[in-house]
Structure 1
Amino acid sequence: MKNKKTRFILRLSLLLIMISAITYTLYQHFFTERNRVQVGDQAPDFVLEDMEGNKVQLSDLKGRGVFLNFWGTWCEPCEQEMPYMERQYNQYKNLGVEILAVNVAESDVAIESFVKKHGLTFPVLKDKDRAVTDAYDITPIPTTFLIDNNGKVLEVITGTMTERDIANYMELIKP
């Protein structure tokens, strides 16, 4: 009899813990304010390292349009749009538009291999600790922010872009 009572109390305790965890998770997800960067916001400033170890700060690009893309090597839509981004970067880099491709928490080896495979020449930045990814509240990837020459977010794009889309977005942020 004592064994049954002990098992019942243990099971009830585990059930209550699980219900509490689920309730807390749902509360956090639906009822707490997120700081998602939205159209019209000033783009949060950040400093990240590029593949050569140089520091790149977003605010240093004031006066230029910025195509800020969050991506991963494992992401098929990201891989699909990288060659489009490269071609459009070559068209727009001398017209006041910059691409910053922020890799989300992957190893240098994986990033370098990807960059080499696709012949990317635009700045690829490493967000090792996901600080910038979290600041911009990125879900899902790819996600791209179009930032004007004053640092204001003009558009937020999630999902795959065609080359025509990218060209149109470059036109939009061209100073």
Structure 2
Amino acid sequence: MDKEEKQTKNSKKKKRAVMRTTILAILIAAIGYTIYNSATAEDVTVLKVGDKAPNFTLVDLEGKDHKLSDYEGQGVFLNFWGTWCKPCAKEMPAMDRQYEVFSNEGVQVLAVNIAQSDFEVQSFADQYGLSFPVVIDKTKSVMTAYNIRPLPTTVLVNPEGNIQRIITGEMTEQDIEGFMEEIKPD
């Protein structure tokens, strides 16, 4: 083996050692972050059917405040969504059609967008011609209070202000109609 081959071999060994050390450092940092995150995580109460729905106030696209407690006595179809979420976009027109039917029967829809810009949300609402209130959870505080994970998630709030049902994933128009019927005041 000549000198040049030895240098090439040594160079490759050094590169491998640097790469292994880097990967090891990243793994240690990731494990450390996970442990730190778990140790300092706030206790999030997981909501369940029958619990009082946490109150909140969010602002709609027209600048009007919507406070959940203001809807007491009515059913509230609380839908958490994002403009990028394909199932969300797919169910919005059906929600709007059913809102047109059930809004006169005491069922309200609040579509809670998760922290997107006013422009993105307004463009989406205009595209689908939504007639129900669309609010933006800019700080994700409502999302956190309701422990929302996948989008879309819909929380049915009965006229007494309690959680009637929690639905994760896309709903059909038949589903939406049935759920609105379920929270309609007597």
What's the TM-score bracket when you normalise by the shorter of the two chains? 0.7 to 0.9
Once the two structures are superposed, the pairs formed by residues 1-175 of structure 1 within 5 Å of their partners are 14=25, 16-25=28-37, 33-175=43-185
Matched letter for residue 165 of structure 2:
E
Q: Deviations over 1:46-102 (max 9, x none)?
A: 000011001110000000000000000000000000000000000000000000000
Counterparts in 2 of 1:49 and 1:24: CA distance versus 1, 3 Å? same
Counterparts in 2 of 1:23 and 1:103: CA distance versus 1, 3 Å? same
SS at match of 1:37: coil
Shift >2 Å, 4+ stretches: 13-29
Report the Cα distance in structure 1 between the residues aligned to 2:130 and 2:29, rounded to whole angstroms.
Answer: 49
Residue aligning to 2:12: none
Percent of aligned positions that are identical? 48
Structure 2 length as normaliser, TM-score? 0.82
Matched letter for residue 181 of structure 2:
E
SS at match of 2:95: helix
Residue aligning to 2:10: none
> What stretches of structure 1 of length at least 5 have no aligned partner?
1-6
> What stretches of structure 2 of length at least 5 have no aligned partner?
1-16
Structure 1 length as normaliser, TM-score? 0.87
SS at match of 1:52: coil
Which has the higher Rg, Structure 1 or Structure 2?
2
SS at match of 1:74: coil
Counterparts in 2 of 1:85 and 1:18: CA distance versus 1, 3 Å? closer
Counterparts in 2 of 1:116 and 1:18: CA distance versus 1, 3 Å? closer
